[in-house]
Structure 1
Amino acid sequence: MGKIWEFFEHLDEYVYVSDPETNQLVYMNQKALKSYGFQSKEEIVGLKCYEVLQGNSAPCSICNNEQLRPGYFKEWEYYNPVVKTDFRIKDTLVEDDGRMLRMEIAIDCGHSGDRETSMDYHKMEAAMNQAIRVALRQETPNQTLEVLLELLGKTMEADRTYIFEKNDHGHDDNTYEWAAKGVTPEKDNLQDLPPEVCDQWYQKFAGYQNIVTENLSEIRDTDPEMYEVLSKQNIHSLVVVPLYDDEKVIGFYGVDNPPAKYIDFASEILQIMGHFIVSSIRRRNLVRRLEIMSYTDPLTGFGNRYAMEKYVSGILPQTKIGVVYCDVTGLKRVNDEEGHSKGDQLILRACDCLRGTLKEFDLFRIGGDEFVALCRGMEEGELYREVEELRAELDREHVTMAVGAAVNTLGSVGFDHLLTEPERRMYQDKAEYYRKSGLNRRRQ
């Protein structure tokens, strides 16, 4: 294979080779290296072909690996957005020490007539269709939205693409963002924007209008609030379209600083893709609701046993974990004699005590009357002070709970026995309560 590479090394065509199983680049000749901004072959080691050749963060939807076989060339044409030129491409499979590799030879056909001044609308539309296909392959709605913004930004040669959504109190949050290489991300600075900042935009959205600003200075006097926000981000032009869900505006998304040649039809492209973005947001919200239902106790709002297991799985083995194990005493008697609604009220009063005192803890309901509070990085002395505060609060609220506490690490006891010692101490506390009160535990 070495001599074959020597043959391709100084050709005027682009030649690159990748592993179809891992998508890792194996070889690029001098023409390809230079065009894609590399100085040596060592720089491409470990890089994915779709990252380098297409500027994508996920495998290309146009990939034809499954159609290739040794000794035959697959020929096709393609406009490459990274090097910005049309290619006539020949693909095949070659064997190297028992493994099959994909080899691509790309002949530069030059820029089509009006490519320098305006990308053909249909080319842009095709690129967006490709972006949607790639985005749909992602495992989660969040990944779908992130990949879509990245491909949109690269295709439109923008500085930044983003999605803003209305939060629970009517302000705007920048929930997703892609920034081009060398462009400062702004997402963290654009949370909880007060309504007056985007007010004029929403007035236009209500009339089904898009925002197209070719020169930021145009809005200096007419929309000073927005001008101040945008100018701080080095934005000189933008295209923004609203996101509608059941005819209600739920936010907006857009691109910053696209080349002037794209602005004429950018809003139409974004408007078409907006329907897909709203669909992805709906799926994300559904996943979130299902996750909340799966990990949350509906009565108390505390995490359930599954949530506790997930929480513990993220703790390093050597980290100290403060554990408080609680049992609401007398719940069965209240349920039997006063009804389950009174029993629920007792549980909620107990939860208020836990929530009000164990403020640094994560709280879980793991049974009908059993609760666990966990806090990583806690020392024994601090834990026992927290427990004493809890006991005092329980007395004030006339709630009886048996409490047991201990500090341990997963490395010393493992997950299965993390609760063993706190639970044992809780039962000791319960037995002591019955002994002192003189109540018959069985009858209770």
Structure 2
Amino acid sequence: IKVTSIRMLMGGEYMKTIMKYELIINEALRSALNYDMPEDEINEFIRFFGKHIGSDRIYIFEDKDGMTKNTYEWCRNGIEPQIHKLQAVNMDIIDWWYEHFDRGESIIVNDIEDIKEKHMSSYELLKGQNIHTIAVSPLRYKDEIKGFFGVDNPPEVDYKGLSIFLDMIGTLLISLLKLRNSFVRSNEQAKISSYSALAQIYLSMHLVNVKNGSHKVIKAARHVDTITRELYDTDFEDHMMHIMNILCVDKYKDSVFDFIKLDTLQERMDGKDTIAHEFVGSISGWCRERFIKVDEDAEGKLCHVLYCVEVIDEEKRRENMLLYLSETDLMTGICNRGSGEHKITKLLEEHVGGLLCLLDCDKFKLVNDTYGHAVGDKVIIAVADALQESCRENDVVMRLGGDEFALYIPGMFEKKQADAFVNRVFSKLEQINIPEMDNKKIYISLGASFCYDGEEISFDQLYKEADTAMYTSKKTEGYCATIYQYDEI
């Protein structure tokens, strides 16, 4: 085992070695600088040396949080790459290397069998990679860069000269890594600046690392910021679940927590640039949380996303108002024909049986001709109110148009029930009093038809049956109801 430093070579031999390796280094730099991106420059730099030295593998490891990670690697043809396997390696396995690294010393092991007894963990790690000879040198720059780079199975060389070579390469690698870090920080700041502009429309925004769960707060509303000050440096899911547990109403918490989870995000965002979910907040009312894709790795896996929350309470009110207007008969406030027919059709498709009733005001044209259309409108509104008061919340009450109405009563299958219901409706209608009509009654003809649970029947077919029954009722003066295939009530 050789533990060496550049100070160990002196005189003419030293100068020859320096000149030899300076030539290779200059060529490597020229080759690397043909690339624009720091990552590509580093990869080209170590590739050049790998080919010129004749080793099996050259690599860079970078340390963080007690672990070291293989970040760059070049392999000779036929040598199995290790970069994907050597992630989050416990530094304790090679702790004896770090003792020498801290003194600025390189390590050269010219036969790994020599370390088998003293450093078994290191031996097993290296042996498993088919390494016989290894040379490693430290990378150190303030607190910004810490790690090492190494050469596996270099050819038989002057190991003192190799040590000089490693020291010289190390200085240049540190420069390239510093440029990379500056580039990353600059890009990160540019992204943050652009996200900050976008964040103006959001209540809060986080930049999330999908792979490790870390996050950066781009923006937080004042009441959110008050909560986050109480949090420790937790990962994204814990951070947001703590916030949402306080700010989300109970009804929506489970769905919000499911939306926040990162382990299912890849599947949920497959083929999409953004996904969203709406919930009600305890302070801001209706809100929308959203994931927006930022970037992917070479395999198409998500790397970073933006998680944003916006207040949509006003938008939701407008949306609900538009929905109400599209589904509601504006004169009476009950369902219009389109929405009422849609609701009944859906119930029939779900095989929810019940009673369909069609109602028509008798001699309504005479009301308009005698008292005017304003009074006729009052009659329409009074009939609609009476029908709505006679029905339950889940019953469908709709105006078909003019003086015609329809009801659908789910779960009503027996004639006895229907008779009682119709009598209740007629009793309500009988109480209508329009002063301009001198207390004259508004008479109604009603036709009805049953649909039973599980029965296959369309709205049009059920409507025709009820309409046939109503035609029979029209033949009788006063309040009259007929149920399809039954005698007149």
TM range (shorter): 0.3 to 0.5
TM-score (norm 2): 0.44
Q: Which has the larger radius of gyration?
A: 2
TM-score (norm 1): 0.48
